[in-house]
Amino acid sequence: MVSFDSRSLSKSAFESLTHLRKDYQKLIPDFEKAKKGLKDQKNQAQELYVYISTWGLLRLKAEEKAISKDQEQRRLVVKSFFKHLQKLADRNDLAGDDDLKNIVGLPANDYLGLTGLAIELANEFGFWANAIYHDIQGAQ
């Protein structure tokens, strides 16, 4: 039996967003110039819960590819989300560039269980986005 520490979801979301923000600010150290990318990160992290609840995990994985190049920071949040979901679900077939087919091929019960875990993780991403991006205000 695998034991699950309920803090794992919070820790995953916190670490993911903290790393994304730090990496981006290393790339663009001027805070004023970095604001748009940081706002994109924050907004995407906050939208994950509603997106998955409305459209499902399968469409979010497809959306990862559809996000335009000028919103690369949004794409990085989605990629990081799937990386952490993969780790939490103890799978190795969710975070790759070609893993949409793996999600499509899941049995219904597995997909529903994974979606439930994804919704909980997305909720944590939304919570931690407010804390980690506390100095980024407003929507796009």
* Averaged pLDDT for residues 8-30: 96
Residue 97 falls within a domain, yes or no? yes
Does residue 139 register a pLDDT over 60?
A: no
Residue 2 is assigned to a structural domain of this protein: no
Number of domains composing the chain: 1
22 found inside a domain:
yes
| Inside any domain, residue 1 | no
pLDDT digits (tens, 9 = 90+) for 28-87: 999 999 999 999 999 999 999 999 999 999 999 999 989 998 999 999 999 999 999 999
Q: Residue 52's pLDDT is what?
A: 97
In a domain, 124, yes or no: yes
More confident residue, 137 or 51: 51
Q: Is pLDDT at 140 greater than 70 in this prediction?
A: no
Is 138 within a domain? no
In a domain, 140, yes or no: no
Beta strands in the chain (DSSP E): none
Give domain status of residue 119, yes or no.
Answer: yes
Q: What's the pLDDT score for residue 5?
A: 74
Distance CA 128, CA 132 (A): 6
List Cβ<8 Å contacts ≥24 apart for 14-19: 14/124, 14/128, 14/132, 15/84, 16/77, 16/80, 16/81, 16/83, 16/84, 16/125, 17/41, 17/45, 17/77, 17/80, 17/125, 17/128, 17/129, 17/132, 17/133, 18/132, 19/80
Predicted pLDDT at 4 = 64
Q: What are the residue ranges of helices labelled H in 91-133? A: 100-104, 108-132
Average pLDDT taken over every residue of the chain: 92
Contacts 24+ apart (CB under 8 A), 24-31: 24/73
CATH number at residue 111: 1.10.520.30
CA-to-CA dists, residue 131 to 30, 49, 121, angstroms: 20, 16, 16
Q: Which domain holds residue 93?
A: 7-132
pTM beyond 0.85: the answer is yes
